[in-house]
Structure 1
């Protein structure tokens, strides 16, 4: 592997056999080196392969002045998230999360505190991602000696959710609000407080996450079997009435029609949650 460009003392770029540019990280890997020189294998700590040249260029621009420790801890958090979630994450997370963590550390040192207004919702609707956020702030404290507030666990979780759903931060906030308001409709409709620790509640929230993603990103839902919809409306009339109210809310707020099949599935999940 030969150096293509020196980014800083700890970051260089190289070209793969197919001509794609990759980013190579290692302490002192660029010091005293020149383009065309072979990169010593023992000096390589991490290789970043992004999905487009545009993202490679953005990442290089970001890394120029970043402390190596900030890049290392971000990469470790992302690797941990991948292993825990066992899902593909959009490669942009290497840019967005690294930038966020660097800025969060800078803000902490400047005694600038940012509260997270959606922290409770993140804890409730994105449990796995929030736990990764908690792991992240503990790791940052161990590696860098900075004790970030718990609000940052929520912000980090949001970046992971963005990478899972391949959405922008604004869309993730809209998705979270949609889930929160839909759960609120169910609570009000039945005058109930669901058990948030129950498996059926978690299944309902998971269903809402994917429904909300499709709505916010304007993906079309396939219309389903009318017989199934009729059957559910007869079997669970109260729950179906609640799902119709959710359907009206989504149309009014997001101008997105929920299909008959999706309305029926909402009723099924609401029924299971009420058991």
Structure 2
């Protein structure tokens, strides 16, 4: 890899085999280097290729304003999301995460902290992303010698969620609203207190998130686990109440989103509701 333009000691521009521009970041990676020099690829923290005009300007501004260490912290968070949680994130999330980490550390040093109004929802509906956020703030505290509140774990989780939703941050609020409403229908219709810490409820929420994305954007449908035994119970009519609850949810979705649940949608919704009900009755 050869340097085509030096941005600063920690960043330079090169091109790939298709002559597309690549921005490369690494601590002191371009120090003492010149045009067309080869670089040590072991020093690379992150490459952006190819980048849009909007992202290019944002990255270049950040390179000049933000210490390279924050890029490295963001990369470690993104790598952990990929490796441990199998969450695939876009470069735009990496950029936003780097910027947020830099800002949160600056605020912490001044004793200024923001309240995360979605913290409860993130803990309840996005536990995997919340746990990643908690791991991230411990990493930031260790690397930057600052103490961050739990709210910051929630903000980092939101950036991760945004990446999962295709960088549509507004969708996060809409998904939360959708899950809350469907849960309230189940609670009222089935006359139960839903155990939101249970594995069955977590599976139900995961199903609702995937369903919402399919309903809104026609993404690939995904089902959670082997439900064949539960399907047999439903076919035998053992959980008619759960099916009737699904019909109420179908009516809500039709009125609110103008989307008609098909038989498969109803079946999966019924199965998850039946599981939650059984869990609550046992407790």
Tell me whether the two structures share a fold, i.e. TM-score over 0.5.
yes
More off after superposition, 112-121 vs 196-205: 196-205
Distance 1:69 1:135, change over 3 A: same
- After TM superposition, the structure 1 = structure 2 runs for residues 118-267 of structure 1, keeping only pairs within 5 Å, are 118-217=118-217, 234-267=237-270
How has the CA–CA distance of structure 1 residues 146 and 255 changed in structure 2, closer, same or farther, with 3 Å as cutoff? farther
Q: How far apart are 1:150 and its partner, in Å?
A: 0.5
Classify the secondary structure of the residue corresponding to 1:3: coil
Runs of 4+ in 1 over 6 A off after TM superposition: none
- d(CA) in 2 for partners of 1:158, 1:248: 30
Larger deviation, residues 265-274 vs 253-262: 253-262
| 1:88 lines up with 2:88 in the alignment | yes
What root-mean-square deviation, in Å, do the aligned CA atoms of Structure 1 and Structure 2 show?
2.4
The runs of 5 or more residues in structure 2 that have no matched partner are: 222-230, 279-283
Q: Deviations over 1:167-202 (max 9, x none)?
A: 411012211221122112211222212233332222
Residue aligned with 1:22, SS: strand
What corresponds to 1:224 in structure 2?
A: none
TM-superposed CA distance for 1:146, in Å, is 1.8
Shift of 1:78: 0.8
Q: How many residues align?
A: 266
Q: For 1:193, what is the secondary structure of its paired residue?
A: coil
Listed one character per residue, the Cα deviations across residues 94-153 of structure 1 (whole Å, up to 9, x for unaligned) are: 112112212222333344322111111111111111110000000000001121210111
What is the distance in 2 between the residues matched to 1:184 and 1:62? 43
Partner of 1:225: none
Structure-2 residue corresponding to 1:107? 107
Query: SS of 1:240's equivalent?
Result: helix
Please name the residue that 1:5 is paired with.
5
Alpha-carbon distance between aligned partners in 1 of 2:199 and 2:90, rounded to the nearest angstrom: 28
Unaligned runs of 5+ in 1: 222-227
- 2-structure distance, mates of 1:70, 1:92: 15
Deviations 1:223-274 (A, max 9, x none): xxxxx9xx75955321122112222222333333333321221011101121
1:41 is displaced (CA, Å) by: 4.0
1:256 is paired with a residue of what secondary structure? coil
